[in-house]
A and B are shown apart, each in its own frame.
Chain A
Amino acid sequence: MSNQTAMRESRVSRTAVMALMFLLAIYFLLPIYFLIVAATKPQGDLASTFGLAFSHFDLFKNLGTLFSRSDGIFGRWALNSVIYAVLGAAVGTLISALCGYALAKFKFRGREFLFSVILGGVLVPTTALALPLFLLFSATGIVNTYLAVFLPSIVSPFGVYLARIFTAAAVPEEILESARLDGAGEFRTFFSVALKLLTPSLVTIFLFQFVGIWNNFFLPMVMLQKESLFPITLGLYEWNGQTARVSLLQESVITGALVSIVPVIIVFILLQRFWRTGLASGSIK
């Protein structure tokens, strides 16, 4: 009988747990669902129809308006975001891997000191650096150029930290030794042997840095005045501030927001396992 009670109890708690999780899932998905619905509506229906129900399906017209507004500036912003994030994360991953590999595999004086400086860097928020960087860059004249956003973005202390842990775990000393005995130099050993073993880890490092740059707002806002250099985040922020004055701009902000998050969400779902590797090593800290 006690067994039966236990089973009933577990059925009750099962239902309660599922109900709670569904409520939370609704909370997380509701804004995205709202955005999808709103992006398909004509501007006039935004205020006059219920926000969670579809009305006229105007998605393609909205997309047309979005990409043709101000001589196609939105496409330019999207391209800029891709340049900053893809190129920045690619360069950043490579230099993080080189450094993390050296910290894991070479023995030299001051190694632990350098590593603690990098760990300190993990705790320095990038927003705290943006204003001093602006002051510094204004003195050197690279404010308001691609480089002003790109250069600071390639530095990721967290990437070096991950690279060191991953190298220690995934690159056995014996393999490096045998490559060296075959006469390969350190760089050849790194590029032909270690990089292959590290590929999954490098994807993880790349993803973290990509999202960091893609989501960055404060740095470009501080650095850039020229609209043609904006990433999507800054561009949509500017538009959002003008919706009261420019007609139909609100619909473009909504459609633009949707266009900017869909590719990243797809990449996220496809590459899920790489996130978990990274977050699991983050928690070792």
Chain B
Amino acid sequence: MTDIATRGTRVVATTGGRSRHNGGGPRAGTIAAFLIPFFLPFVLFYLVPIAYAIGQSFLVVRRTGGQYGTSYTTFGGFDQYVQVFQNTEFWSSIGRIGLFGIVQVPVMLFVALIMALLLDTPLLKLKAFFRIAAFMPYAVPGVIAAIMWSFLYSPQLSPVVDLLKAIGLQPDFLGPGAVLWSAANVSTWLWTGYNMLIMFSALQAIPQELYEAAKLDGASNWAIAWKIKVPIIAPSIILTTVFSIIGTLQLYAEPAVLRQISSNISSTFTPNMLAYAVASGNNYQQAAAISVVIAVITFVLSFGFMRLTSKRAGL
């Protein structure tokens, strides 16, 4: 990537240098004027909040003279983190989201990959239609998608429930065992097409000549897909996996909407919902510690996955 990004930046020898000062490009002030409009808000709204959250997470609120004394905030070391790790609700939210991710991410990416490969073969007609149909959910905000699906899950309104009952089934999409997978389905619906398009774009960039030798040797479309195409687009598959892991750990909107119609989703269903619930209870330092832990887990998992897979794939 760095290769591509810097290709255009090689400095062309300046001709004459009449209008240039010492031939080395624009002045520092000019460069700063290009960078500051982005970097100022970036620092203020990305870096400062991160630093602030980390700072808050090391504070505790104590009271002087028992329960009715005045409260004051002081340095508490790792107290907040100890509390996070002793919180059973935190662990169950992590467990839930782990189960969700282990099932939902591979299923979604597998479907996306199959669709991308099929769209890349001559076997298929109506390609534009299928591509648009799959990508359309990306235009739908997560909240709206969850509201739409919650109607399709609702025992009173859902045509899906009606149809399943007609063939003798008794589906309960909002029951205690099913509701996690109902939420997973909303995520799958939203993001499959997006991931599919990333993979499909990578497939389109492969030069056709690469397949021709294989075709002359009599390789089937199937073999070409799995033995040639998939390994080539491995970086895209890794990228979509990393984005999916990040997205899963941040899950909020979909379960929050389903919570409005199902009593089987608690206010601490996902780590993010827990952080929000704690912050709503005015325990900002604890909420900050939870946010930091979620961020660290996200970071470790996504980088760990990238490391692991890029070594394996020899990238």
A: residues with CB less than 8 A from B are 10, 13-14, 17-18, 20-21, 24-25, 27-32, 34-35, 38, 46-47, 50-52, 94-96, 98-99, 101-108, 114-115, 118, 121, 123-125, 127-129, 131-136, 151-152, 154-155, 157, 160, 164-165, 167-169, 171-174, 177, 180-181, 183, 185-187, 190, 211, 214-218, 222, 232-234, 236-237, 240-241, 253-254, 257, 260-261, 264-265, 267-269, 272, 275-276, 279-280, 282-285
Q: Assess the B252–A217 pair: CB atoms within 8 A.
A: yes
Closest residue on chain B to residue A127 by CB atoms: B250
A283 with B147, Cβ < 8 A, contacts A28-B193, A102-B31, A165-B4 known? no
B: residues with CB less than 8 A from A are 1, 4-12, 14-16, 18-20, 24-26, 28, 30-31, 33-35, 37-39, 41-42, 44-46, 48-50, 52-53, 56, 111, 114-115, 118, 121, 123-126, 129-130, 132-145, 147-152, 156-160, 162, 189, 192-194, 197-199, 201-202, 204-205, 221, 233, 235-236, 239, 242, 246-247, 249-250, 252-253, 256-257, 260, 272, 275-276, 279, 284, 287-288, 291, 294-295, 298-299, 302
A133 with B45, Cβ < 8 A, contacts A50-B162, A181-B19, A280-B202 known? yes
A276 with B197, Cβ < 8 A, contacts A99-B35, A128-B298 known? yes
* B1: contacting residue among A34, A51, A169, A285, CB under 8 A: A285
Q: Assess the B151–A38 pair: CB atoms within 8 A.
A: yes
Shortest CB-to-CB span from A61 to chain B, Å, is 19
Jot down 23 A-B pairs with beta carbons below 8 A, ordered by A.
Answer: A17-B121, A30-B152, A51-B151, A95-B38, A104-B5, A107-B24, A123-B302, A127-B272, A131-B287, A157-B46, A165-B4, A165-B5, A168-B5, A168-B7, A169-B4, A177-B15, A186-B30, A186-B34, A217-B253, A241-B260, A261-B139, A269-B132, A276-B201
What A residues does B6 contact at CB under 8 A?
168
Given A24-B115, A152-B45, A155-B42; 9 other pairs, CB 8 A cutoff: A31-B189, A34-B151, A34-B159, A108-B25, A132-B53, A155-B46, A183-B19, A185-B30, A285-B1
Q: Assess the A104–B9 pair: CB atoms within 8 A.
A: yes
Q: Assess the B39–A135 pair: CB atoms within 8 A.
A: no
Once A and B bind, how many residue pairs between them come within 8 Å at the CB atom?
A: 298
* B56: contacting residue among A21, A135, A215, A282, CB under 8 A: A135
Q: Assess the B38–A253 pair: CB atoms within 8 A.
A: no
What A residues does B126 contact at CB under 8 A?
21
Q: Assess the A151–B41 pair: CB atoms within 8 A.
A: yes
Q: Assess the B124–A131 pair: CB atoms within 8 A.
A: no
What B residues does A265 contact at CB under 8 A?
136, 139-140
Closest residue on chain A to residue B203 by CB atoms: A283
Q: Main SS of the interface on chain A?
A: helix
What B residues does A52 contact at CB under 8 A?
159
Shortest CB-to-CB span from B149 to chain A, Å, is 6
Q: Assess the A125–B123 pair: CB atoms within 8 A.
A: no
A129 with B201, Cβ < 8 A, contacts A27-B189, A28-B136, A218-B252 known? no
Q: Assess the A31–B152 pair: CB atoms within 8 A.
A: yes
Q: Assess the B235–A285 pair: CB atoms within 8 A.
A: yes
What B residues does A269 contact at CB under 8 A?
132
Q: Assess the A217–B143 pair: CB atoms within 8 A.
A: yes
What A residues does B143 contact at CB under 8 A?
217, 233-234, 236-237
What A residues does B198 contact at CB under 8 A?
279, 282-283
